[in-house]
A and B are shown apart, each in its own frame.
Chain A
């Protein structure tokens, strides 16, 4: 297992997309120390910022306040990346496989345009989780993002497939221009959830304000949620589905597109 520890908090953001199992696994410790990172516009060595120890392989631990370290885990396809501290923007952007665990918070653009793998953030995340970068037609194409805490704006924007689960509250425009996939909002969201939604499912476990272009359809217990609940249970997430506990109110929209998406709002019994 490889262990990296941030020695010095960078004064400006540090771009370190070399911090992925794909990049690091085949290298010697010396080669790892010499890898380029970018402090603002200047190229530096990884060892200028990180102490490197252990053995290179598919398992990597990074320690420290990495809130200003960007692009960790970029495009990774395998391995295990564990971050003990906060992580900066673009964590696991374009990820294809493997797992990322953050014992801290993550910045904006977590898992942007990813297509596989599992990310679990114990703290909060920023905005644009699993989203498309500006101008790109599609965001997350598959994979799972779990956030125990809160998240920011445009969670799952233009996502096409995959699952995002946020335990804490989420800000505006969750599921903006969604094309498919599933977003679970454990503590609801602020405004304009599902705006311009084309397809996909947004599940809110608490009441949320809805756009006038979403129409109420029915109150029921969809069978497919049982499959999801089982899958999420293997990842440690609880999704209610049983009619003895409550039901979901289904809203379809966004009629402005016109979209065939759905927002399911949980309504406990009693």
Chain B
């Protein structure tokens, strides 16, 4: 129901309108980052962050630590360390 793809914010296109440029494996698109910014986390701080992109909006930040932990767990399962 929800096609979403991870992308990296490479530039802020418009601070006031909360628009950023996201890159997904060489493909760039402008996305609206209203859903992931606030006073503690203004647009300028988003450059370099990975986000989930859905219908032209950044939905959430990808937690890189959690992603690494999930992969680590899967690797442990593959090495048979967890039963």
Say whether A and B bind each other: no
